[in-house]
Amino acid sequence: MAWPSLTYTELILYIPCLLLFFYYLYNIYLVFRLSPNWPLVGMLPSLLANSDRVHDWLAEILQLENGNFYLRGPWFPGMKLFVTADPADVHHILTQNFQNYPKGDEFVEIFEALGHGVFNSDGQLWRFQREKLQLTTSQKCFCTFIGKTTQEKIENSLLPFLSETVERSLVIDLQDMFSRLSFDMTCILAFGTDLGSLSTDFPAVPFAQAVDDATATIFFRISRPSAWWKLLKFLQFGQEKRTAKSRVVGERFIAEVIEKRKREMIEGRHACPDLLGSYLCDENIPNSNKFLRDSVVNFLVAGRDTNSSGLSWFFWALSQNQKTEEKILHELSSVHHSTTLEGMAIFDQEELENLVYFKAALLETLRLFPPVPFNFKSVLKPDILPSGSGVTPDMKIIPSAYAMGRMETIWGKDCMEFKPERWISESGTLRHVPSHKFLAFNAGPRTCLGKSMALTQMKMVAAAMVYNFCFQVVEGQVVAPALSIVLHMKNGLMVRVRRRTSI
């Protein structure tokens, strides 16, 4: 069968019609991809269409909806969410009317792996735990312990690991490396023991895997109706079955750590000022294994995952912005550093404190890639937010730190650019940005107590790495956020490493 021939005039008319058809088709696709809610099934079609890019999907909708929108699940479970990236609403929820927006009982169920630690609890239990944690981590001996532990880990583990990587011409996953490094450092701070998970053979660490399974389950539960994941938990199927097995491993490990630390305290050994040791010495803190277990697990999850995420995205940002790396190197070359036996530089926390551009680059990384991309709140009483949006007790509130870093109304037209200069004032000092606009460390009464500790560790690790080594990201890999409560990279960050020969 011969194809019908087209005249020149018909062809001229046909092409615009075809283009118009594809234009409408594309717009239908955008509506399907970006529309948050559908009749009866709610957000389910849009969530499935955007399952590989949930964080960016939410950010795009918030940009279109001026910072707020309602997200509903399928009709029968009655799942209702209010998602916000509006600074005024965030300030109201997290600070001004803090008492009306607790974590809530459902949050405790979803974050079951964290027990009744400081992240999960509300009211008096939360206040008590926060006060004790703040008292312990703000003591001079603990702050010194952080710096000493980080420096020793850099010298004895990180730099030798990277040197061996260079000698063996290995391609490594920086994200995995940071996860192991942060895990080891946090374990030392939590209970005084280095588990030694950072090694070029990347040994399996059952407890670390148990933590990974727990965080994966939390995201699984958040993104599905409660009736669904509770059914899977009851049947011990899929992700819930893996979680149950991992929890046994994790609880057994923590129980052994607590008992070991108690014996050491009785025998007068191992007197380093770690968190668990400090708690065991405090007569006002419950000596029950459950309280201690919840406290240690919350500290471990916060310290390990947030640092590894922040450092991974920092080195990704440097790989895309060579001028930023050059400016950081120039700053680092101006301060004093100690030298290892192998001739590599190590910086202490005091020397790094006054490096403005270096810290601005870290803050810019956390703006675009906050380790905790969203928060989760319940509603006690009906309330009207500053934006005019109404919220009720049958809703859950999700302030999105990831979306806030991408809002033109907060950061300007260049909000998607990596630009450390936005953090530096005309006088050359760091510019203050209110926490309800820069949500990387939360805001209000629940502002992260580990902010100073995290920045100290990140600066010391990043400075030693940038000054001593060059990192080349492997071409062709796709770098994108994973679907998790922590902003990990979906495919890791594969790099080649070489020694830096000149500054």
Which residues participate in the annotated binding site?
A: 448
- Phi/psi for 179 (5° steps) reads -60, -45
Residue spans of beta strands (DSSP E) within 47-200: 68-72, 80-84, 171-173
Sign of the alpha-carbon torsion through 187, 189, 193, 195? positive
What 3-state DSSP class applies to 106? helix
Query: Can you tell me the distance from the alpha carbon of 318 to that of 358, in angstroms, rounded to the nearest whole number?
Result: 11
Binding residues for heme are 448
How is residue 2 written in tokens? 């011969």
Assess contact for 387 and 67: CB atoms under 8 A. yes
Residues with Cβ within 8 Å of residue 92, at least 6 apart in sequence? 385, 386
The tokens 């994966």 sit on which residue?
Answer: 216
The DSSP annotation for 413-439 comes to TTTTS--GGGGB-TTSSBPP--TTTS-
DSSP secondary structure letter of residue 203: -
Amino acid at 106: E
The enclosing H or E element of 46 equals: helix 44-49
Quick one: which of 373, 290, 347, 265 has its CA closest to 117?
A: 290
Beta strands 469-473; 390-391: pairing state: unpaired
Region class of 22: left (phi > 0), else alpha (psi between -120 and 50), else beta: alpha
The tokens 């970006």 sit on which residue?
Answer: 34
Query: Can you tell me the distance from the alpha carbon of 201 to that of 196, in angstroms, rounded to the nearest whole number?
Result: 11
Assess contact for 121 and 107: CB atoms under 8 A. no
Query: Can you tell me the distance from the alpha carbon of 164 to that of 130, in angstroms, rounded to the nearest whole number?
Result: 41
Query: Can you tell me the distance from the alpha carbon of 386 to that of 393, in angstroms, rounded to the nearest whole number?
Result: 18
Assess contact for 202 and 180: CB atoms under 8 A. yes
Residues with Cβ within 8 Å of residue 372, at least 6 apart in sequence? 306, 401, 440, 442, 485, 486, 487
The tokens 């101006």 sit on which residue?
Answer: 334
Assess contact for 375 and 399: CB atoms under 8 A. yes
Query: Can you tell me the distance from the alpha carbon of 367 to that of 359, in angstroms, rounded to the nearest whole number?
Result: 12
Amino acid at 278: S
Residues with Cβ within 8 Å of residue 440, at least 6 apart in sequence? 363, 366, 367, 370, 371, 372, 401
Query: Can you tell me the distance from the alpha carbon of 422 to that of 419, in angstroms, rounded to the nearest whole number?
Result: 6
